[in-house]
Amino acid sequence: MHSYNSVFKDESKLDINYVPSRLPHREKQLNLLNQFFRFATENPGKMTQRVLITGKIGTGKTVLTRHFGQNITKEAQKRGTNLHYVHVNCRECKGSLFMILQCIILKFSPNFPRRGYSAQELLQALMQTLDEQKACVILTLDELDALIRAEGSDALYSLTRVQEDRTTIVQRISLIGIIRETTLLDKLDPSTRSTLQHNIIHMDDYSKIQLLDILNDRVSTAFQDNTIFPQTLNLIAESAASLEGDARYAIELLWRAGKYADTDNSRVVLPEHVRRASESVYPIVRKDSISKLNLHQKLFLLGVARQFKHSGAAYLSMGEAENAYAIVCEEYGAEKRGHTQLWKYVQELSTLDVIKTQPSSVGQRGKTTLISLPHVSATELERELIKTLGA
């Protein structure tokens, strides 16, 4: 009986909710968060803080705050401080302050009635509960965009001003807001906006090199040894970098590629597994796009697809692509075009995002253009091209 060998060692390390012990290229932002909240462990209750974290999808906003939350609560436990970190997704709470407050208060008082209170009454009940338990909270409102869209300034005004009259009492709640579209802050009244914009941490897009570092970290904990080679990871990083440096997409692509490898009973994750995974996550190459290509663009692309399929490589040189194209031309009885025309085809296909191009690395023999298929399976592309060429 055939034994099943997975490429994975622990695929939970690729789960969207997993918080790694290290955050490559986010050390500066983590240090800034720690500085903003030093008082929470050193002088708990003496003051409150509000921080806004901005950035596009996949820039690490959520994992940064969860990582920070784990660390600061551990430090608080060492010091004997009753500090809690609570992370609430505003979108999952339908942008409702009532549902957000209900979610928070149930963490401290699980038997608290779920009905019969307004949002303002829940807020006062939360403050009373925290006073009774002598607890302080760092509350992160993830996807703050949803709350602002649904309730405008009122909800955030209530949260930021609930402790104003407690100048001689322990300050219980600090806030972290995570937001993608900072233009939404313009919908807030000037007072609330000023309160939130005092401390801003912006998360820049990840570069391809940074994405490779993140992927290598995850591979070391999630995959068996020697199951993923550099060219495979490079293809994943390239694909994610083309989507504005989306690390979340890169990690999902890595996981799906591993799943395709397991489906094929492969002991390694190949570039073709990445292409198939990319096609299922982010299908860029549509049938109508291929049908609109001219004959020689299709023949060139068919040669590229076949070469990738048979070689198992992540990249082809321009010379390899031209040779593959020449073979396809013979098969279809077409007179092959010259290098200059083929180079134009490569540029046009790259513009359409069917292929990607990059210069060869330093140290490679000679200088050439490297071609990749980051978003579509070579097998599927070959099948679609054969259909259109036979039509």
Which pLDDT band, with edges at 50, 70 and 90, does 79 fall under?
A: very high
Residue 376 is predicted with a pLDDT of 80
Q: Is the pLDDT of residue 367 over 90?
A: no
DSSP-derived 3-state class of residue 304:
helix
Q: Which of these ranges, 62-66, 288-292, 378-382, has the smallest mean pLDDT? A: 288-292
What gap in Å lies between CA 30 and CA 53, rounded to an integer?
A: 11
Q: Is the pLDDT of residue 3 over 60?
A: no
Residue 285 is predicted with a pLDDT of 55
Average pLDDT of 52-58? 93
When the candidates are 3.30.470.30, 3.40.50.300, 3.40.50.2300, 1.10.8.60, the CATH number that belongs to 206-281 is 1.10.8.60
Q: Which residue has the higher pLDDT, 257 or 363?
A: 257
Residue 170 is predicted with a pLDDT of 85
What gap in Å lies between CA 244 and CA 149, rounded to an integer?
A: 25
Q: What is the pLDDT of residues 177-229, one digit of tens each?
A: 999 878 888 888 888 787 777 789 999 999 999 999 999 999 999 999 999 99
Average pLDDT of 63-67? 98
Q: Is the pLDDT of residue 374 over 80?
A: no
What gap in Å lies between CA 263 and CA 188, rounded to an integer?
A: 50
Q: Which of these ranges, 83-92, 257-266, 349-358, has the smallest mean pLDDT? A: 349-358
Q: Which residue has the higher pLDDT, 73 or 312?
A: 73
Residue 179 is predicted with a pLDDT of 93
Q: Tell me which long-range contacts 184-191 makes (C-beta under 8 A, separation of at least 24).
A: 184/145, 184/148, 184/149, 185/148, 187/148, 187/152, 187/153, 188/148, 188/152, 188/153, 188/156, 189/153, 189/157, 191/157
Q: Is the pLDDT of residue 165 over 80?
A: no
Q: Which of these ranges, 218-227, 262-271, 365-374, has the smallest mean pLDDT? A: 365-374
Q: Is the pLDDT of residue 167 over 80?
A: no
Average pLDDT of 234-249? 90
Q: Is the pLDDT of residue 239 over 60?
A: yes
Counting residues of the chain whose pLDDT is more than 90, the rounded percentage is: 64
What gap in Å lies between CA 74 and CA 288, rounded to an integer?
A: 55
CATH code linked to domain 27-203:
3.40.50.300
What would the two tokens of residue 141 be? 């409102």
Q: What is the pLDDT of residues 143-156, one digit of tens each?
A: 999 999 899 888 98
The structural domains of the chain, with segments of one domain joined by +, span: 27-203, 206-281, 287-390
What gap in Å lies between CA 305 and CA 378, rounded to an integer?
A: 5
Q: Is the pLDDT of residue 1 over 50?
A: no
Q: Which residues contact 311 (CB under 8 A, 6 or more apart)?
A: none
The 10 Å Cβ neighbour count of residue 53 is 26
Q: Is the pLDDT of residue 337 over 80?
A: yes
Class of domain 287-390: mainly alpha
Q: What is the pLDDT of residues 96-135, one digit of tens each?
A: 999 999 999 999 999 998 888 999 999 999 999 999 999 9
